[in-house]
């Protein structure tokens, strides 16, 4: 296995980093994904020191508040998060699209605006030799296989995060999507889904996770694969244990 296994901080609003990153290490994860506000996290040097002390790397820092209107404040806030990502030595900066337009489908112009924003972020991050990746996600600007494929044609410098659950929602076989976008893929999300909420891997039956992981091996993928925690009421450490146990069962 060449890729590293991360756990997303998606559901940690105001975490005690020393405690929760210690739990990550204890349960067998290699790193974590930062979703929190910078005013909670503090300085990059603080976060890097805590991560190093726990023995877990920062895989990714995520963007916030994306819009397609060219808003200066939105761009600057995300550029500060790109600065932060570089300082904590994250592998990638990741962001999603804007909210889906109300009452209508996205237009090709909407998707072009997203592609242009993606490439602007990628250009900014290039000073740090840091990749920027667009994270496919339902109910955002791009919300179908066809729109995703259009974005990939328009987006020139930004890379790609495939969340296998959202690929499956669009009836695009996740393993095939991994093969199709192998040249742009720099980050992977794993989630499972059942009864209108995200659940532990294997509990939802949404897709064949083993096939998706094998596809990553086939293409020689060697970067981060990150699990997004469920929306169940389990304690964080139990989610970490269960998700890690599931991946071990698959051979990872």
CB count, 10 Å around CB of 165? Answer: 23
pLDDT of residue 101: 86
With contact defined as beta carbons under 8 Å apart, do 31 and 59 qualify? yes
Residue 1 is predicted with a pLDDT of: 60
* Segment 55-67 mean pLDDT: 98
Per-residue pLDDT tens over the stretch 7-43: 999 999 999 999 999 999 999 999 999 999 999 999 9
- For 223-249, what is each residue's pLDDT tens digit? 999 999 999 999 999 999 999 999 999
Segment 81-88 mean pLDDT:
98
Mean pLDDT, all residues of the chain: 97
Average pLDDT value for residue range 107-135: 98
Using alpha carbons, list the distances in angstroms from residue 124 to 86, 90, 99, 146, 157: 11, 15, 23, 28, 11
The stretch 216-226 carries a mean pLDDT of 97
pLDDT digit string (tens) for 172-188? Answer: 999 999 999 999 999 99
Please tell me the distance from the alpha carbon of residue 133 to that of residue 122, in angstroms, as a whole number: 8
CA distances from 45 to 21, 87, 108, 126, 214 (A): 16, 7, 41, 21, 36
**pLDDT tier at 102 (50, 70, 90 boundaries)?**
confident
* Mean pLDDT for the stretch of residues 196-219: 96
Output the pLDDT for position 193: 96
Confidence category of residue 170, pLDDT binned at 50, 70, 90: very high
Confidence at residue 168, expressed as pLDDT on a 0 to 100 scale: 97
Average pLDDT over residues 129-148: 97
37 burial (CB, 10 Å; 0-12 / 13-18 / 19+) is exposed
> With bands split at pLDDT 50, 70 and 90, how would you rate the model's confidence at 103?
confident
Give the pLDDT mean for 210-223.
97
Q: Is the pLDDT of residue 251 over 90?
A: yes
């Amino acid at each position: 296995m060449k890729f590293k296994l991360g756990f997303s901080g998606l559901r940690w609003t105001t975490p005690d980093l020393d405690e929760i990153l210690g739990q990550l290490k204890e349960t067998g994860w290699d790193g974590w994904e930062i979703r929190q506000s910078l005013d909670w996290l503090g300085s990059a040097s603080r976060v890097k020191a805590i991560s190093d002390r726990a023995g877990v790397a920062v895989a990714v820092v995520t963007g916030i508040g994306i819009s397609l209107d060219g808003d200066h404040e939105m761009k600057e806030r995300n550029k500060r998060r790109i600065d932060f990502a570089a300082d904590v030595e994250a592998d990638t900066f990741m962001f999603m699209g804007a909210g889906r337009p109300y009452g209508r489908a996205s237009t090709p112009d909407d998707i072009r605006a997203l592609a242009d924003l993606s490439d602007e972020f990628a250009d900014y991050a290039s000073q740090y030799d840091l990749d920027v990746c667009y994270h496919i996600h339902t109910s955002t600007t791009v919300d179908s296989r066809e729109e995703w494929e259009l974005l990939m044609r328009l987006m020139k410098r930004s890379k790609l995060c495939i969340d296998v659950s959202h690929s499956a929602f669009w009836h695009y076989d996740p393993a095939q999507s991994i093969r199709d976008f192998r040249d742009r893929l720099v980050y992977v999300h794993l989630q499972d889904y059942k009864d209108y909420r995200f659940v532990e891997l294997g509990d939802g039956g949404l897709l064949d996770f083993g096939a998706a992981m094998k596809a990553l091996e086939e293409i020689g993928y060697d970067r981060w694969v990150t699990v997004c925690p469920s929306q169940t009421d389990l304690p964080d450490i139990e989610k970490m244990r269960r998700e890690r146990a599931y991946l071990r069962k698959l051979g990872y």
